Structure 1
């Protein structure tokens, strides 16, 4: 797996919080694109993200992940502009 996805996993996702079922695929990819924007990096296609997650034994459509870090804030604000 590339260092690009390793950084995303380390900086934007956590399993240290209790969740109500983890993140949906749409949320995962939205968080990933927010992380890429913040890091001035070109996003890879969704399929590449799914493969990267699966290489860490994380199922994109059935996980216990929670958002973390600046990308989480960016994603939440961008997906719910009425909160800003």
Structure 2
């Protein structure tokens, strides 16, 4: 995986560095991986995942989701 990756240096404030390190430790992964995910989420990329609110429709408490699923999905995708 590292064979096709470029190394770069980014200067960040101490507070952001602390948050980045904490997040990497919380996830049990590397700072580089958290940084890549954050950059891909911001810039778009192969691992960018679209979040659809309708994916949690089963926990919405509504009883008409099955009848309205097309409408719900259309509103989510249109955002």
Fold match (TM-score > 0.5):
no
Structure (1 or 2) with the greater strand fraction: 1
Structure (1 or 2) with the greater helix fraction: 2
TM-score under structure 1 length normalisation = 0.25
Which structure exhibits the higher relative contact order, with contacts defined as CA atoms closer than 8 Å and separated by 6 or more residues?
A: 1
Higher CA-based Rg: 2
